[in-house]
Amino acid sequence: MNPSFWLNRKVLVTGHTGFKGGWLSLWLQQLGAKVTGYSLPPPTSPSLFEVAEVGLRMDSRIGDVRDLDTVKALVSEIKPDVIFHLAAQPLVRYSYDHPVETYTTNLIGSLNLLEAVRHSGGVRAVVMVTSDKCYENNATRSAPFTENSPMGGFDPYSSSKGAMELMVSSYRRSYFPSDRYPEHGTAIATVRAGNVIGGGDWAADRLVPDAIQAFANNQPVTIRNPQATRPWQHVLDPLSGYLLLAQQLFNTGTDLAEGWNFGPSARDEQTVGWIMDRLTQLWGNGAAWQTSEDQHPHEAMQLTLDCSKALQRLNWQPRWDIEQGLKATIAWYKDLQDYSSSVYNLTCDQIGQYERYRLPHCRT
């Protein structure tokens, strides 16, 4: 990634009040981009958006991606060079209880964004964030998913992301084809990350936030499926892929306008039980976990990603292994608990550590 590319670049981030959107917005601010965010209010309290004051150094707007007219007006007004679309209902278990909200947000909201891009013109690069759960995942599969694996999804959340992938592919072929790039000038890609961890996530029914809350209250964590395997990664790893891909889309056009996996290396695809053992060790103070005996909705037991395409064609690979990611995550929450530093600076410092240098925009 070329940091100078982002200096004064006009960027729209939908979902900037969320966990990944907050980290991305802070990173773009450090790089000197002119960032506009559009999202519903923060989904949790506390939230990274609030405690790290994400909105203070950007044009932060509160709104709903399901409102087509507002989304179209926003894109026409700010005329972004690059769009990162992260606005979503991101939780599997929540989707079982709220399927209409899940489908309308994840599918219709994404459709509205594409329509805004189509009608406004001038947007050079669009990165649409879906999920590693967009793939058809049957119980017998053990091979990692490649970008050419079939779309699917058992639960409403997963199927909404699979449907989003199909919709984006249709829009690319219908309105933004390669042979008409000189006419429309827009390159659109989809990205599929693994199970992200990091400081500032307080979402319900997510492993690390649930663990941190229990640890802070000196209670054991109750785990649903300790044998389930997931592609764990620190949030900065996939975000680095999104930034690199957006830069390349802007510079090269439609050659890279397709689907991309940004997941961890194979050795970091660990079971939930392994992650919990490591989290309790890192937290200390008698932290413990136990297995739930209750019945729970269906969740895939095995989910792994093949990211060789990103390595071969983008020269991208994760910088932090799961051990580094877990240590950074625990350190973030412990520093927050101790109130020992500005949360904005704390988060910027971790971005600087990830990049192996400290950017000048980090501190005020």
pLDDT band at 180 (very low <50, low <70, confident <90, very high): very high
Q: Of 62-76, 173-187, 265-279, which gets the smallest average pLDDT? A: 265-279
Q: Band of the pLDDT at 224, cuts 50, 70, 90?
A: confident
Per-residue confidence band for 106, with pLDDT thresholds at 50, 70 and 90: very high
Decide: helix, strand or coil at residue 289. Answer: strand
SS3 206: coil
Residues 1 and 244: their CA atoms lie apart, in Å, by 5
Domain boundaries, the chain: 6-195+233-267+305-325+343-355
What was the pLDDT predicted at 336?
Answer: 85
Cβ atoms within 10 A of the Cβ of 364, count?
10
pLDDT at 359: 39
Three-state SS annotation for 34-70: EEEEEECCCCCCCCHHHHCCHHHHCEEEECCCCCHHH
Which CATH number among 3.40.50.720, 3.10.20.30, 3.40.1670.10, 3.40.47.10 corresponds to the domain 6-195+233-267+305-325+343-355? 3.40.50.720
pLDDT score recorded for residue 214: 92
Please give the residue that has the higher pLDDT: either 194 or 248: 248
**pLDDT score recorded for residue 361:** 47
CB-based contact 127:85 (threshold 8 Å): yes
Tokens, residue 239: 């975000």
* pLDDT tens profile 45-84: 999 999 999 999 999 999 999 999 999 999 999 999 999 9
Shortest CA distance to 256 belongs to which of 306, 310, 307, 317? 310
Q: Is residue 147 within 8 Å of 135, Cβ to Cβ?
A: no
**Cα–Cα distance, 27 to 347 (Å, whole number):** 9
Q: How confident is the model at residue 194 (pLDDT cuts 50, 70, 90)?
A: confident
> What is the pLDDT, as a whole number, of residue 296?
53
User: Residue 140: what pLDDT?
Assistant: 62
Least trusted range by pLDDT, from 48-57, 100-109, 170-179, 336-345: 336-345
**Tens digit of pLDDT for each residue in 319-358?**
999 999 999 999 999 988 765 568 999 999 999 999 973 4
Residue 97, pLDDT > 80, answer: yes
- pLDDT band (50, 70, 90) for residue 143: confident
Q: For the whole model, what pTM was predicted?
A: 0.94
* CA 315 to chain CA mean position, Å: 20
Among all chains, which residue has been given the structure tokens 């892929």? 241
Q: How far apart are CA 242 and CA 24, in angstroms?
A: 9
85-89, 98-102, 333-337, 353-357 — which is least confidently predicted?
353-357
* Residue that wins the pLDDT comparison between 207 and 170: 170
What does the alpha-carbon distance between residue 31 and residue 360 come to, in Å, rounded to a whole number? 9
The continuous run of DSSP H or E covering 99 comes out as helix 99-103
Residue keyed to tokens 């609030």: 50
Report residue 364's pLDDT band, with 50, 70 and 90 as the boundaries: very low
What secondary structure, in 3-state letters, does 145-170 show? Answer: ECCCCCECCCCHHHHHHHHHHHHHHH
- pLDDT classification of 297: cutoffs 50, 70, 90: low
pLDDT of residue 229: 85
Please write the tens of the pLDDT for every residue from 113-127.
Answer: 999 999 999 999 999
C-alpha span between 120 and 223 (Å, rounded): 47
The pLDDT value given to residue 294: 64
For the chain, what percent of residues have pLDDT higher than 90?
80
User: Crossing angle, helix 207-216 and helix 272-283, to 10 degrees?
Assistant: 30
Q: Give the tokens for residue 94.
A: 């929540």
Q: What is the mean pLDDT of the chain?
A: 92
Residue 267 β-bridge partners = none
